[in-house]
Structure 1
Amino acid sequence: MLSEDQQDQLLLSLFATAEVMGQQLTQGAALLMVEDLREYSEPVLSVALRNCRREGGRLTVAAILKHAQAADGHPGKDEAWAIALSASDESETVVMTREIRQAMTASSPVLEVGDKVGARMAFMSAYDRLVIAARAEAKPAQWEVSLGYDSARRVIAIESALRSKLISEEAGAKHLAHLRLAPPTEDGLAIAGLITGQVRANASPQMRKKLAEVRCIIKAAQAKKDRQRAKDSQRRRVETYLRKRQARAALSALAEQQLNESGPSSSPGTGRSRWC
């Protein structure tokens, strides 16, 4: 929030900007504008007023907020959805905002059942609502790191976020130091091996027991999927056969009907038309 001195400076800037844009602000109107804008930082408002002067038109709170909100760091809906989809891959390290993470809570159950279109609609509805609420309180985007299990991709994602200035140097250094100084344990490698298919023999007995249980669950689930897939395939073959049989019967009936309607076209044995 702006200090009292900064609010006084904003008031003067509003009068000057309005004059440059060919308007005259009353003191009451300017004070109301300061009240609506004081949640934003001084640099953001300064840039927003400059953009309003360059854009032209009328100086309104809505025009100033449009430029102020464009600089708050919240990604657009499509970009946010792309980030959310990347985060659904547990191997990927993703840098996302709090609003994206919260919107994923609404869309994840729909995405898990395979309805990508429905998940996108649920995500965007929730994300819109969250960003509007954040902007109403003048809260800029706060980016967080969601670590995936692929250590090589972790480093790439964090370094990319640092270059894009999405996270601070301190936060990036903390994550990178942790990755470089804390190698994965044998139990951690065993868990990763469960996903990649590489068996680790050095895991603890307790971990090996748990992994064996998980493998049994995975195999049972896969067998169930295979049986269901075979049933679905057989059902589709039967449906295809029945549709073809119905089509052949319909064609045969149509041909017979046309033959009955047309009748014989010539007298038997003469080869001449019966109308000759």
Structure 2
Amino acid sequence: MIKFASENIKFLEKISAVPVLKYFFVLKISANFQKIDSEPVLKKFYTDIYVNDKTSKKTEKNRFDDLNETSLNYIKKQKNPVIHDIAVSNGISSSELSGKLKTGNIKNEFYISDKFAEIFVKKGFITKIYDSDKNLMFAYIGFLFAADKNIFFPLTVLLFKLLKKTKIPVNFDYKLLLFHPETLKKIKTGELRYINYDVFNTVIKDKFTFVRVMNILNLGYFNRQKIKPALENIKKSMKENAILLIGRTNADGINNAGFYKKNNNKLILLEDVNEGSEINSIIG
């Protein structure tokens, strides 16, 4: 079986409501991506996209509602909040938190990052989309979709593997940020600020007062040896007394997380949410 791609938003909206059939169709991306206002189409698109570290772009609105309330309690106590939301996927959760800060009249600087946010597009009968490391993320051959991690669509995966062996383009037709259009609008107005940041390699010192790292530093994705240096990079980026929120959303939609405070270059647990962070034993 194989997936098909279309730029027709109305068609994709109708298909998204049809059981089984909806899984066979996906959005064909274009330079007008940020103008799309169909939530069902966007949700399906992000579900279909996997990045080079095998994590998905899938996320949900209102996913962190319980965490946001506690986060606000910490942030509003800070004199000049400088926030960093790491590995934000499509950024919709960042948009929601920034909205709550605005509603509460809490002035802040809000930075968001995701290593695989920026994509580079080479158009043609074969349209190929690459990440910032110039790894093929997904592609289209006419109206056929090519992508990895589609277990029930072997031809979609086969096309992807074949295209991955082709030469990487020297020049691209355009690039864009693969954020939710709502997030892109806030970046344009300055309410959110996008920074190019890789949690495993980027070093920023003593900048942020509140850092959120959800659904990326998980033992299901990375081993302890990989996670430890990432935590050190995060800690370096935090000011003294800054707050770290780190955790994972389980399959039932429950957020297991912990709030930590930077004190003398150590991260001290302040409180657990539900079962707490699964990497608590690594944090310190």
TM-score range, shorter chain: under 0.3
Q: Which has the larger radius of gyration?
A: 1
User: What is the TM-score normalised by the length of structure 2?
Assistant: 0.22
TM-score, scaled to structure 1? 0.22
Structure (1 or 2) with the greater strand fraction: 2
Q: Which structure has more RCO (C-alpha within 8 Å, separation ≥ 6)?
A: 2
